[in-house]
Structure 1
Amino acid sequence: MSAPSRIPGPALAAAIVAALGVLPLVVVAFLVIALGGLEADAGRDWLETGLLLLLPLLQLFALGWFLLRRGRVPLVVAALATVAGAVLIAVISASVGQSVGAGPFVLALCPVVAAALAMTPAVGRWSAEARAARRGRRA
């Protein structure tokens, strides 16, 4: 069995950018809960609040999965979910007559860049080596 290969530059960059992208998601989710955002007339809308809490958890899971060399698809799913969360924030803000500009979409910048970096061929080879090594151990 060969020694594990070093992490390629794009994979390292994807991991760092994905980790940096978690912080703004956590801050937004915290602010929504702490400052009472997403409140309807009848009380807090827990569905949207739960979805905003799910975004940083999904990003952390995807980052862990990626670093364990299990796959890179969860980073793409987390990026798509973050873009959907940004759209949700923009729609909710527009429904109450407030403009948020590009702010919510800046939240999605790091996850989208991380997903794009993770989809490079060098990262694919790095991930495939780990899959081949796992299959070789099981046989």
Structure 2
Amino acid sequence: MTGAMSPPFARTEDDKEMLVVPFYHCYGFGMMMTALLSGATSVLLPRFKPELFCSAIQEHKVRWLTVAPLILTFLARSPTCQNYDLSSLQVLFSGSAPAPKNVCEELIRKYENIKHVQQEKTREGAL
């Protein structure tokens, strides 16, 4: 968790983070605690639904996104995303499994402000 709180990944009271991961897993719990400890606003969804996900990012101007790699693929390739302003996104934390390299490259091309950060070994608490 220390790495997630260190520059350049330190959050502030002005940040808004959406967490779309299970909180019973150390990855989700650790990232949620990082947001809470920094005073950032956490945007939570009861489940992943494409339109709800995109509209919440647009409405809350989410800057940080904590997701599983499958949602990165959705962001990179789904036409649904074109109907929403997702330009507030700047940092993507992805864990629980490796994100495909080609998906990460697509995200960087599609969303100019995004840095993709691959979190690895989140089962072992390597946050």
Q: When the two structures are superposed, what TM-score results if normalisation uses the length of structure 1?
A: 0.26
If each structure's helix is expressed as a fraction of its own residues, which one has the higher value?
1
Q: More relative contact order in 1 or in 2 (CA 8 Å, sep 6+)? A: 1
Q: When the two structures are superposed, what TM-score results if normalisation uses the length of structure 2?
A: 0.27
If each structure's strand is expressed as a fraction of its own residues, which one has the higher value?
2
